[in-house]
Structure 1
Amino acid sequence: MKKWLISGAALLMLSPTAAYAKNADARPVHTSPVIAYNVVANTKVTTWDQFTTEIVKQLNNFAPEIKITYSGPMTDFNKKIMEAFEKAQEQAVYASGHLESTTISADSTGNVTFKVKYITNQKQEAAVQKKVDQVLKTIIKPSMTEFEKVKAINDYIVSNTAYGTKTKASPHSAYALLMEGQAVCQGYALTSYKMLEQAGFDTKYVVGYVNGNEAHAWNLVKVDGKWYHLDTTWNDPLPNRIGASSYDYFLVTDAQLKKDHKWIASDYPAATSTTYSYMQNVHFAYQVNNTLYFSNTADNNKLYKLDLASGKKTKVIDKRALYITGADNYLYFSDYSNSGYLTKLNLKTLKAEVLAKQVVSDLRISDNYLIYKVNAKDQTLKIK
C-alpha cells in the first residue's frame, strides 16, 4: 500500500488569514485549542461528487479530521482530491473563511485523511450559532422588506462591535466579533455572511485589497434580485465611535466600491444597480419609523432626514449635527455649528435647545437617561 502526503501547506483560497483592513495587524493567527469531538467512521464514497459533499459536511461541522475512503476510478487520484477540496471550500464558505491550514494524506487504496486547523473551534461555533439565532430573532421580522432586513443586520453589527485585535479568540473570527465585541475585517465579513445567509439571502464572501495592497474582506448580497456590495467593516468608523454608523459602503455598486477597493471582479457577480445610492453620505443615523435623521457629509454634516420609502433627503435645520440619538419627539446631538455643545431638538417645532455648553460625543440613551462623553468621561442626564 503506497501512501502520499499531498499537501502540508495551507489551502486558503477563501480564507486569507491576513484579510484585514485599516490599521492592519500583522501578527500571526493562532488556532484555539481543538475540543474533543465525536469521531465519525471513515465515510465510503464511489464518486467525486460524493467525496466533495462529505468534505463540505465535515467542514461545516468544523471537524479537525476528515476521513474518506474512495473506491471509484483512480485516474488522476491526487489531482481529483485537490479539486474536490477546492470545490468543497467554495460551498462551505463560512467554515472555509475560518481555515488556517490543511494537510492531506492518502494511500493507494483510496483512504484519504484531511487534518484541518481552524482559527476557531466547535465549541466557539456553537456559541456563534446560538448568538446569531438570538440576534436574528430579535432584529428580523417577517413583514420587513429585503432592504430592511439587510439594513437591520448591518446596523446590528456596526452598532455592537468595534474594529480591533484585543481579543482572546482569533480577531479574524466571527466568534471574536459576536462574543468579544471586536475583530478585524475577516471577522466582520464572516459574521455578515453567516447572518445574511441564515436570514435567507444569497451572499458572497469577497476578498480583495484596500489602501493599495492591504488584504481586505467584505460581502456581496442579492437584494430583490440584484447584487450589491456590503462592507460592514468600513461602515463602522475607526477609531470606534458610539452612534457613528455610516452607510457609504451599504448596498453599493462595483463602480462605487472601486474608488477604494480592489478585487478580481470576474470571480464574483456584477453589482450595477444604483437603487440604494441614496444611502451615501448618511452618517450618525438615528431612525424614527421610516425616517432616518442623519449627518449629511455631502453638506458639511448638516442635519438632514431621509425618507426610506422614497429615498428623498431633506435638510431639517442648518446645523452641523454629530452623534445623533433620540427619544420620543426629540433628537439629541453634538452641535458643531455651536462649539459641539449638547443640543436637544423638538422634531415637531424644530426648536433647538442647548442642554450643556460643553463639547460632547458618543451620545446614547439608556433607561430614560441620555449618556454622553465630555473629555472622554461619561456624563448622564435624565430625560424622562
Structure 2
Amino acid sequence: MKKWLLCGATLLMLSPTAAYAKQTEITSPIYPVVADSTVVTWDQLTKELAKQMRNFETEIKFTYTGPMGDFKKEMMDAFEKAKQQAVYASGHFESMTVSADSLGNVTYKVKYLTNQTQEVAVQKKINQILKNIIKPSMTEFQKVKAINDYIVSNTMYGTKTKASPHSAYALFFEGQAVCQGYALAAQALLEQSGIETKYVIGFVNGNEAHAWNLVKVDGKWYHLDTTWNDPLPNRVGAASYDYFLVTDSQLNKDHAWVKADYPTATSTKYSYMHNVHFAYQLNNAVYFSNTADNDKLYKLDMTSGKKTKVLDKRALYITGTNDYLYYSDYSNGGYLTKLNLKTLKAEVLVKQPVTNLKINDNDLLYTMNTKEYKLKIN
C-alpha cells in the first residue's frame, strides 16, 4: 500500500490561497486511515471539506471511492476550491498537511490562527454587534457605513494581543489586530448583514503584505479598507472615509493586488465620502473635519452628497448630542468648544487643548494633558 504526504509551509496567513511545498511521496507501509465520510466525487469532497473548514475542524478525514485519475492533484485542487467556499475560515489558516493512501483515504490536518472556542465567542459577538448597528430598513450603503464605523471606532491597529493579532477574535475581544484581523472581521460582519463581499490580498508600501475587502453596493463593486480608515496612531472618534467605497484607480495609488483575481471597481458614486474625518452623524447630516480644506468644519448631506462649510474653524475630535456639537477648536488653541447647530453660536468650555472627545450618557469625556476628564452636559 502506498501513502502520499503533501506538506503546507507555515504562512503569514493573509491569503486564503496558500503556497505549498513540493509534493513528497512516501512508500513505507501504513495502516488504512479510518475516514469520517465517504465521497464519490471530487465536488462532493470539496463541499464537505468546506463545511468542516467553516467549523474550524483541525483533522478532516474522507474516503474517496470515485475514479482515481491524478489523485494527488485532485485532492489538492479540492482543498483550494474548498478554501474559496470558506473564505473566513481559510483566511485564518496557518498551515496545512494532507496525507492519503492508495485506497482513497484522505486526511487534511489544518492549523488555524484561532480555534472553535474562540469562534463560538466571535459568532455571539457578531450577533450582538449586528443587532445594535444594523436595522432592516437600512440601505446597503448604510449597512457598510455602519460596519466600517463600528470597526474603526472600537478598535486600533496593534499586535499586543494574547490571541493571534491576525485573527478576527483579537479585534473583537482585545480591541486590536493587524490588517488581516480587520479584513476578516469586516468580512464576517458584511456577509452576515447581507452584503456580498470579497477578501482581498495585496500589498502596500511596495512589498508589505496587506488585506482589505471588496463590497458590492447596489450592484457595483467598491474597495473598503477598514484598516486604513482607522488613523494610526489611534485617535478616539477619528473615523475617516478615504478608503471607503473607492475605485480601483483610487486605491491603486497606494495599494497593489492581482486585479485579474477580483471584480473591477469603477463607480465613483460615493467619492463624496472622501476627506471626511472625525465624522459625527446627526439624522441625515454628517458633521466632519474636511481634510481638503485645512480641517475646517463642514456638513455633508447624506441624501445629496453635497458638502457645505459650517464654520471657518479647524474642528477636530468632533462629537455631539441633540442640536449641539463638541470639538477641539484648532483655530483657537485646541480649546474645547460647544456649537449650537441652530444658531451656530460657539462657546468655549475649556481653555486648554483637549483631545479624544466622546459622549457617555450625560457626560462629555475628553483628554487634557494625558488625563481623562468629564463634563456634565444637558
Aligned partner of 1:342 in structure 2 is: 336
Percent identity for Structure 1 against Structure 2: 74
Does 2:153 match 1:152?
no
What residue identity is the alignment partner of 1:70? Answer: Y
- State which of 174, 186, 190 in structure 2 corresponds to 1:180: 174
Aligned partner of 2:297 in structure 1 is: 303
Q: 1-side partners of 2:205 and 2:3: how far apart?
A: 45
Q: 2-side partners of 1:369 and 1:103: how far apart?
A: 55
Cα deviation digits, residues 71-99 of structure 1 (max 9, x gap): 01111000001111001111110000000
Q: 1-side partners of 2:202 and 2:312: how far apart?
A: 40
Q: Structure 1 segments of 4 or more deviating over 3 A?
A: 10-13
Aligned partner of 1:3 in structure 2 is: 3
- State which of 313, 323, 326 in structure 1 corresponds to 2:317: 323
Does 2:282 match 1:288?
yes
Q: 2-side partners of 1:67 and 1:14: how far apart?
A: 24
Output aligned runs, 1:84-163, within 5 Å.
84-163=78-157
Residue 138 of structure 1, CA deviation: 1.0
- State which of 62, 67, 88 in structure 1 corresponds to 2:61: 67
Does the Cα contact within 8 Å between 1:14 and 1:90 map onto a contact in 2? no
Aligned partner of 1:165 in structure 2 is: 159
Structure 2: gaps (5+ residues): 19-33
Q: 1-side partners of 2:369 and 2:300: how far apart?
A: 31
Does the Cα contact within 8 Å between 1:56 and 1:89 map onto a contact in 2? yes
CA RMSD of aligned residues (A): 1.3
Does the Cα contact within 8 Å between 2:14 and 2:180 map onto a contact in 1? no
Aligned partner of 1:214 in structure 2 is: 208
Does the Cα contact within 8 Å between 1:303 and 1:318 map onto a contact in 2? yes
What residue identity is the alignment partner of 1:167? Answer: T
Q: 2-side partners of 1:352 and 1:8: how far apart?
A: 62
Does 2:186 match 1:192?
yes
Residue 14 of structure 1, CA deviation: 2.4
What residue identity is the alignment partner of 2:3? Answer: K
Aligned partner of 1:55 in structure 2 is: 49
Cα deviation digits, residues 137-176 of structure 1 (max 9, x gap): 1111011111001100111111111111111100000000
Aligned partner of 2:257 in structure 1 is: 263
Residue 54 of structure 1, CA deviation: 1.0
Aligned partner of 1:353 in structure 2 is: 347
Residue 331 of structure 1, CA deviation: 0.3
TM-score by length of 1: 0.92
What residue identity is the alignment partner of 2:101? Answer: D
Q: 2-side partners of 1:15 and 1:168: how far apart?
A: 23
Does 2:306 match 1:312?
yes
Does the Cα contact within 8 Å between 1:15 and 1:100 map onto a contact in 2? no
Q: Which has the higher contact order (CA 8 A, sep 6+)?
A: 1
SS, match of residue 175 in structure 1: helix
Does the Cα contact within 8 Å between 1:10 and 1:103 map onto a contact in 2? no
TM-score by length of 2: 0.94
Does the Cα contact within 8 Å between 1:14 and 1:89 map onto a contact in 2? no
Residue 201 of structure 1, CA deviation: 1.2
Q: 1-side partners of 2:48 and 2:60: how far apart?
A: 9
Q: 2-side partners of 1:41 and 1:13: how far apart?
A: 30
Residue 9 of structure 1, CA deviation: 2.8
Aligned partner of 1:243 in structure 2 is: 237
Residue 6 of structure 1, CA deviation: 2.0
Q: 1-side partners of 2:205 and 2:269: how far apart?
A: 27
Q: 2-side partners of 1:13 and 1:102: how far apart?
A: 14
Output aligned runs, 1:73-84, within 5 Å.
73-84=67-78
